[in-house]
Amino acid sequence: MAALYVATILGMMAALGVFISVWSTLPQAPTNADVVEGRLRIYETGVPLTVADIELRQPFMDRVIRPALKRVGRWVEQSTPAKVRQKITVDLQVAGHPGGMTAGDLIAVRYVLAVLLCVLGVLLGVALKNPITLVILAAVGTISGLYGPMIWLRLKLNGRRNEIQADLPDVIDVLVVCVEAGLTFEAAMERVVEKYDHGLAAEFGRVMQEVRLGRPRLEALNDMGQRTGVEELNNFVQAIIQSEQLGSGVAKILRIQSDELRLRRLVTAQERGARASLKMLLPMLGCIFPTLWVILLGPAALLAMRFLAGG
């Protein structure tokens, strides 16, 4: 009888344990404070988004057009010569990768734009019902699509080079101050990268990344000078390389380069000012002088015509 009582008690204890275990795994009903906190969190951060919602919130360019251009670029890039791809890649790097484009993206844009403009020219020619106009518009559209992106890239490249040329004296002054304060040339370049946010600072940052990856510093600097195509920057880099090879002081070389660049900037400004007077001749002769002639000689011409008509 006692064994029956013991077994009953043990069974009840086991059932109670199972009940407590199952009950502990069930989610508790939220309290009023939890409900209020959840509503405030939704109000502050918004409803949690799914992956589809995040993708749909992206711009149409990043969601549809850019992936399509990348697929076309991979297909077209294989038929482009390696030298052309390498040149476009270098130009995009110097231009600062405008629009985040790669060489394949630019090549795809060229061909897609050429096809679209050619089709547009054909449609306009069909609408005008003129075969000659159709051929001309189709040819102009194709040529514009092929060479328009390259002209755009060239403009971006020249603008980046002009920016580097304009920022170089100020950057060299910062390098002079840092080196004379006791920093190494690498530390001075890191200061420039931290202080500025322009094309030249980005080029210095790329040099530092290449040096961290194991590339020799002088080789990375020489590649930067030749890659950018800015004569002043290339001369500055060559002077730094010579000072490193000859063992001369870097601070003295930097000071000399800074003075030369500022003198060259002054001479360039004077040359542009001297050319400005010559450039003003054309608008003056074409726009201002005819107006003055009409105002000064107009009354005299009217009197002469009236006199001749009366005579």
Domain extents in the chain? 60-160, 161-263
Question: Which tokens hold the place of 169?
Answer: 């004296």
pLDDT of residue 43: 53
pLDDT of residue 18: 52
Classify domain 161-263 at the CATH class level.
mainly alpha
Percent of the chain with pLDDT over 90: 0
Greater confidence, 47 or 93?
93
**How many Å is the Cα radius of gyration of the chain?**
36
Sign of the Cα pseudo-torsion (29, 34, 36, 41, in order):
negative
Lowest pLDDT segment from 13-22, 97-106, 112-121, 215-224: 13-22
pLDDT of residue 63: 59
Mean local confidence (pLDDT), 162-170? 84
pLDDT of residue 195: 84
Phi-psi map region of 9: left, alpha, beta (phi>0 left; psi -120 to 50 alpha): alpha
Kindly tell me if the per-residue pLDDT of 84 is higher than 80.
no
pLDDT of residue 232: 82
pLDDT of residue 161: 85
Question: Which tokens hold the place of 147?
Answer: 């060479």
Kindly tell me if the per-residue pLDDT of 56 is higher than 60.
no
pLDDT of residue 6: 46
The pTM of this model reads 0.62
Mean pLDDT of the chain: 75
DSSP state of 100: G
Mean local confidence (pLDDT), 179-196? 84
**Euclidean distance between CA atoms 233 and 70, whole angstroms:** 34
pLDDT of residue 79: 67
Confidence of residue 183 (pLDDT cuts 50, 70, 90): confident
| pLDDT tens digits, one per residue of 62-83 | 655 666 666 665 666 666 677 7
**Euclidean distance between CA atoms 27 and 40, whole angstroms:** 21
pLDDT of residue 187: 85
**Euclidean distance between CA atoms 132 and 187, whole angstroms:** 65
Lowest pLDDT segment from 64-73, 120-129, 149-158, 255-264: 64-73
Kindly tell me if the per-residue pLDDT of 95 is higher than 50.
yes
**Euclidean distance between CA atoms 59 and 48, whole angstroms:** 19
pLDDT of residue 61: 59
Lowest pLDDT segment from 124-133, 219-228, 284-293: 284-293
